[in-house]
Amino acid sequence: MIGIDQIASAVQGMTAGSGATVLSGLPGSGSETTAAVPFAGVFQAMAQQTAALDKKASDTVTGLLNGSGVEVHDAMIATQKADMAFELALQVRNKAVGAYQQMLSMQF
């Protein structure tokens, strides 16, 4: 089973166009103090960043179709970043649901 630290280190390698980490609220990303980020905060940050990347991809594709100076490769890169962020969020959700279901099936 994959741990949250492994997810954080994998996501930390992904960068947005400005060079900032995609999920800047994750532990170890350098944007926090020494206190740990709550588990729900990781999901919230992931959802916010995924939505931001999706909006950017939508805006670049719209700009490409309107002919407002957006290059094809910029639209493709933004679309791929949004797709990768969504796939990561989906897999993290699947792992969290699987762990929750496994805990529910435990008998004490």
Give domain limits for the chain: 39-108
Split at pLDDT 50, 70, 90, the class of 107 is confident
Percentage of residues in the chain having pLDDT higher than 90: 51
Split at pLDDT 50, 70, 90, the class of 26 is very low
Contact between residue 13 and residue 26 where contact means Cβ atoms under 8 Å apart = no
Instruction: Write out pLDDT tens, residues 49-98.
Output: 999 999 999 999 999 999 888 899 999 999 999 999 999 999 999 999 99
What is the pTM (predicted TM-score) of this model?
0.61
Beta-carbon contacts of 43 under 8 Å, excluding residues fewer than 6 positions away, are 92, 93, 96
